[in-house]
Chains A and B, each alone.
Chain A
Amino acid sequence: MLEHLPLLSLITFSPLIGILIILFIPGQKGKAIRWVAIATTILTLILSALLYIDFDNTSSGMQFTEEMKFLEIPLNSELISPPGAPAIDYAYEFNYLMGVDGLSLALSFLTALVCLMAALASVYIKKRWKTFYILFLLLEVGILGVFFAKDLMLFFIFFEITLIPMFFLIGIWGYKDRERAANKFLIYNGVGSAIMLIAILILINTAGFYFDEASNLLRYTSDVGVVFDQLNNPQSLANIEGTIFYLSENMRWFIFIMLLVAFGIKLPIFPFHTWMLRVHTEAPPSIVMIHSGLLLKMGAYGLIRFGVVLFPEQAKEWAFILAILGIINILYGAILAFVQNEFKLILAYSSVSHMGIVLLGIAAFNLAGMQGAVYQLVSHGFISALMFLIVGSIYERTQTTKLDELGGLAKSIPFISGILLIAGMASLGLPGLSGFISEFLTFVGLFDTMPIVTIIGTLGIVLTAVYVLRGVLKMTFGSLPTQYTKMNEARLVEAVPMIALVAFILLLGIYPAVLIEPMQETILSIVTKMGG
């Protein structure tokens, strides 16, 4: 039944329905706007759940593909056809191509879920609800599109769509230093996007050029599938020396490194991480849930889907460098998290550290490692969303998240403190919770190829315990400052997303097959293509 519906487009653009409705609600009716937004994210989640149910776990390719002619710019065919020969149709085409495989499925479901939780957590937003939720839903469209886009240009457009709402969401609803944070975010991500765009354009102009014999067509395309085939087909123009479409070894390296930098900024890879520190501290917590839980994942997703899949030789040759970058991320993030006083900064550096595990998983170049990397993306998405949900709740009550001003919260708000402890345990990779599976898979995978690096990486397991416990215990254990003795426990609207996220973290930790099964074939095919 669902095969006939453009399910991916429905999911991606379902938040637009909410935007449309919100446009017609007067701005001062905050509550109504909020419930419309929440209902919209629930709709998206239901559609995503349908996708998950209907997804064929045994297939490694793209499913639910959608194709629509969108733009075709005719080019002067006389330039290329020999005189006298029949004119060949010669054009640049840009099509609307969507598809989902195991990798996209995992991340799109994560997106739908975290967005719902963030919508619930946005209860603390106190001004300009209408604009806030419109931007919020727009942001969701962008993220979902990124994970479904099967076309380089389309991917780029969705990627950029996320920047604009984010800029305003940080700049308007953030804390004291919000405007500088928003600027920094925009500029730095803009630089990343520019680099990515250059890489994409080069790809379109080389590997994207193909001759479709069946229909006698000459095309420049940004279809990822075509680009991939062209890169790997020894007969294609991109692989024939002397043509202007030829992609030399150096050029491939150039593109690969550009992609690595572009996505490395987003991930973030050391030393490109400082922009996100400010976002973590200045943006409103519900937006950081999305930022830390989802936007960082776009970097990793891009790195796997374009960096690694399109340029496997380069990536493989740099496996060791990727692993070292991963180790630096893990240890550097952990050590810096250990000395921060602001809990939000601890979480920011913790994200740096946890994304290092993703790099290690990719660097392993085998099934276990790659699965670990993707598992880590989903797991960290849930955990960091939960963390910032709690941060929002605590800040609302104490007006601070600085460690030296807090203590003993377990006495006045035991429920929230308990959830914080669970989130901390998940973060430090306690078995039974999602973080352990990803760490285990990653380290198992990496140990096969780089045992020494793996052993250094496991140091991170201890350091994570050190900084997580330091932060969590400082806030919840010890004696309670007198001004915090009278605080309200979590309200229902806070408790529901907390319990839901904990439930998912538990589910992923106890029964990993829910995520492994659908993504296994896809990742296996990625790894096989890389020859790993």
Chain B
Amino acid sequence: MESVFSQLAWLIPLFPLIAFVILIAIGKQGNKWSAYISIGAALLSFVFAFLVLFERLNGTMDAYTWDEFDWLSFGDISIRLGFEINNLNAMMLIVVTLVSLLVNLYSKAYMKDDHRITVFYSYISLFTFSMLGLVISVNLLELYIFWELVGVCSFLLIGFWYEKESAKAAAKKAFIVTRIGDIGLFIAILMLFWYMPNHSLNFTDIHNAFSTNSIPIEAWVITTIAILIFVGAMGKSGQFPLHTWLPDAMEGPTPISALIHAATMVAAGVYLVARTYDIFLASPIAMEVVAYVGGFTAIFAATIAIAQNDFKRILAYSTVSQLGYMIMALGIGAYTAGVFHLFTHAFFKALLFLGAGSVLHALHKQDIREMGGIWKSMKVTTITFAIGALALSGIFPFSGFWSKDAILTEAYHDNLILFIVGITAAFFTAFYMTRLFKIAFLGSNRSSDKPKESSIVMTLPLIVLCILAVIAGFVFTPFNPWLGEWLTGNVVEEHTNWIVMILSTVVAVAGIVLGWIVFGEKSVSQSAKSRNWAYNVLANRYYVDEIYEWTIVRPLRILGLVLNTIDRFIVDGLVKLTANIVLATGRASTRMQNGQVQTYGLVTLIGFIIIIAAMLGRRYF
């Protein structure tokens, strides 16, 4: 089959871009129908992405690349933009467009009372455009451009309800913290630019250069480049210690949390590492760093999630933790498993967030202690959420089970410490999801509201995602390694590891059972009294925010104030001094014009001496 649709893949991001431009242009007048423009664009993108995927499924392994747009040139170096379609990003395209389409649809009901709904949809369209652009970028600089754009869209949408102080702070934090990571990526680009043959930043060239070790680069340089790229990924994908922005990002509208902060943008870091994987493979140290940061984040965030009470924040920490899994998978060389987990996670986490949105929409509350008994009136939401939670907890046969199992199997063979870390985190995952589900959905209603099931516009996306959360795992199981072969082009031998499979199931079930026993109606009222230090540490998120406040934010402010004083008095003093000298000279020379011949004579004499001195001095100069 010819690559007909792959050649047209540039159309996929174009639709949302057009929607964005239209929506920005019409403004408030379009409040009634702006949703349809955005939904329509997302639908077109989805259809095209599907056609591309379909073509890739039957086609060759070869990537389709086009980079003919001369964008920036200096001398004989020119940076060209274009797009590339390969199996990895064909898969990403389908994930992004599908989740975007469902979120677009869902938002129509969720945001219907907001008078800035057009703005909302324009931002979502801009985000979808940027994210799709990121996915099909042909070189690292182009990826960086879209990388920053998705960051801005994330910022805009977190701060969508700009009147709330908390939203403002969260938006600012998200932008700045991810930007710290971006600097890493930026420096990595600069380094690659000068080290790569022909200054090429194309992914294909990077692949060729690093996979064959054909360029004479010292090992430490490769390691530095890889780690700097990873710093960028850490910022976007909320890896410790740059994870702090992601839970705060929950200030944004919930559909946004599902789209940007669960399924797509935060996975961009994982995607980046996967896209530049050859650089990492060339540096064992970088791989170790990636693996341990990922593993640590997985368990670190999972423990925090246990002690949170905000519905969305629990899910946010869960996202951080799951991203840690993906990163860890890449770090131990389990490329397919990492990408596969990204794929399944996108669906079940989007499902969980949209389910959360459905609850929040009905109750207008975010604190799970004030919920309870929702299942009675919101059956669809409850059932789909439960399935999502089971998928996240890694229960057979839901998708999360297969992807987590794939990671853990690799870890079992590769690095036993990380295997233990991973399986412990899996236990905590099941534990906190049970807590969340039991306190929020079961028991008696503790809120004053009478929740009502959301409309079909909101439940339909839930059902679609729920189906995917169930079946998406079957593309890559120990018995069916199809995805691995399709992604990497290598034949993957089947290795079924029953020990890991049984162990992970036992651990997940144990987490659920223990969670079921520990948490209930009583724990809600008790928790205030029975706080111990461990709980406090977890509830305060290991005090990471406070540490940043005291080690970075405040010192910077103090430094600023000190420098400000210096600038006012010392540096400006210099200016004043100059001004005063000029004025004083002026006054002095005014005084000389006093009509007295003696004064004039004296001035003449001084002038004469200066001229002589200058003439003599010139010889030595």
**Residues of chain A at the chain B interface (Cβ within 8 Å):** 183-184, 187-188, 190-191, 248, 250-251, 270-275, 332, 335-336, 338-340, 367-368, 371, 408, 410-411, 425, 430-432, 436-437, 440-441, 443-444, 447-448, 454-455, 458-459, 461-462, 465-466, 469-470, 473, 476-480, 511-513, 516, 520, 524
Contact = CB atoms under 8 A, between A and B. Distances in A.
Given A251-B621, A478-B163, A338 B180 contact: no
17 contacts: A187-B582, A336-B560, A336-B564, A338-B557, A408-B163, A431-B146, A432-B145, A432-B148, A447-B190, A469-B172, A469-B176, A476-B162, A477-B159, A477-B167, A478-B163, A513-B73, A516-B74
Nearest to B178: A465
Nearest to A415: B27
Contact of B560 (A339, A476, A479): A339
A191 B563 contact: no
B162 A339 contact: no
8 shortest interchain CB distances as A-B pairs: A339-B560, A431-B145, A477-B168, A274-B572, A477-B162, A447-B190, A187-B579, A271-B571
A513 B191 contact: no
Nearest to A470: B172
Contacts of A368: 74-75, 77
A508 to B, nearest CB: 11
Contact of B557 (A339, A430, A480): A339
Nearest to A244: B618
Given A336-B563, A458-B183, A432 B149 contact: yes
A524 B75 contact: yes
A335 B149 contact: no
A282 to B, nearest CB: 14
A442 to B, nearest CB: 11
B589 interface: no
B562 to A, nearest CB: 9
A248 B560 contact: no
Interface in B159-212: 159, 162-163, 165, 167-168, 171-172, 175-176, 179-180, 182-183, 186-187, 190-191, 193-194
A447 B152 contact: no
B575 interface: yes
B498 interface: no
Interface of B: 70-75, 77, 141, 144-146, 148-149, 152, 159, 162-163, 165, 167-168, 171-172, 175-176, 179-180, 182-183, 186-187, 190-191, 193-194, 556-557, 559-561, 563-564, 567, 571-572, 574-575, 578-579, 582-583, 621
A477 B167 CA distance: 9
Given A473-B168, A476-B162, 5 more contacts: A274-B571, A408-B163, A432-B148, A458-B183, A520-B75
Nearest to A445: B74
Nearest to A335: B560
A513 B74 CA distance: 10
Contacts, number: 140
Nearest to B147: A431
B560 A184 contact: no
Contact of B578 (A188, A335, A441): A188
Nearest to A446: B190
A188 B575 contact: yes
A460 B246 CA distance: 23
Nearest to A332: B563
B621 A338 contact: no
Given A458-B183, A477-B168, A184 B579 contact: yes
B73 A516 contact: yes
Contact of B187 (A430, A441, A455, A478): A455
A410 B175 CA distance: 19
Contacts of B578: 187-188, 191
B127 to A, nearest CB: 14
A454 B183 contact: no
A191 B163 contact: no
Nearest to A274: B572
A440 B571 CA distance: 31
Nearest to B181: A462
A437 B152 CA distance: 17
Contacts of B191: 447
A131 B567 CA distance: 35
A266 to B, nearest CB: 14
Given A335-B556, A336-B564, A459-B183, A367 B75 contact: yes
B183 A520 contact: no
B144 A462 contact: no
A430 B621 CA distance: 50
B136 to A, nearest CB: 16
A520 B165 CA distance: 47
B479 to A, nearest CB: 45
B200 to A, nearest CB: 14
Nearest to B190: A447
Contacts of A444: 190, 193
A441 B79 CA distance: 11
A188 B571 CA distance: 13
A116 B591 CA distance: 46
B567 A274 contact: yes
B168 A441 contact: no
A338 B556 contact: yes
Given A336-B560, A339-B560, A477-B162, A461 B574 contact: no
Contact of A447 (B179, B194, B572): B194
A112 B183 CA distance: 35
Nearest to A250: B621
Nearest to B618: A244
B190 A466 contact: no
A62 B616 CA distance: 41
A51 B186 CA distance: 37
A412 B567 CA distance: 36
Nearest to B142: A431
Contacts of A336: 560, 563-564, 567
A223 B574 CA distance: 35
A187 B167 CA distance: 47
Of B145, B149, B165, most A-chain CB atoms within 10 Å: B145
B144 to A, nearest CB: 7
Contacts of A454: 187, 190
Contact of B149 (A410, A431, A462, A520): A431
A245 B472 CA distance: 84
A273 B148 CA distance: 32
A411 B163 contact: yes
Nearest to B76: A367
B178 to A, nearest CB: 10
A366 to B, nearest CB: 9
A190 B585 CA distance: 14
A184 B281 CA distance: 60
Contacts of B179: 461-462, 465
A477 B251 CA distance: 14
Contacts of B168: 473, 477-478
A513 B72 CA distance: 6
A512 B159 contact: no
Contacts of A272: 575
Contacts of B74: 367-368, 371, 441, 516, 520
A271 B190 contact: no
A498 to B, nearest CB: 14
A437 B144 CA distance: 12
Nearest to B24: A418
Nearest to B567: A336
A339 B621 contact: no
Given A410-B162, A459-B183, A188 B621 contact: no
Contacts of B141: 440
Contacts of B582: 187, 190-191
B145 A335 contact: no
Contact of A443 (B182, B190, B560): B190
A479 B71 CA distance: 42
A408 B164 CA distance: 10
A512 B162 contact: no
Contacts of A251: 621
B293 to A, nearest CB: 20
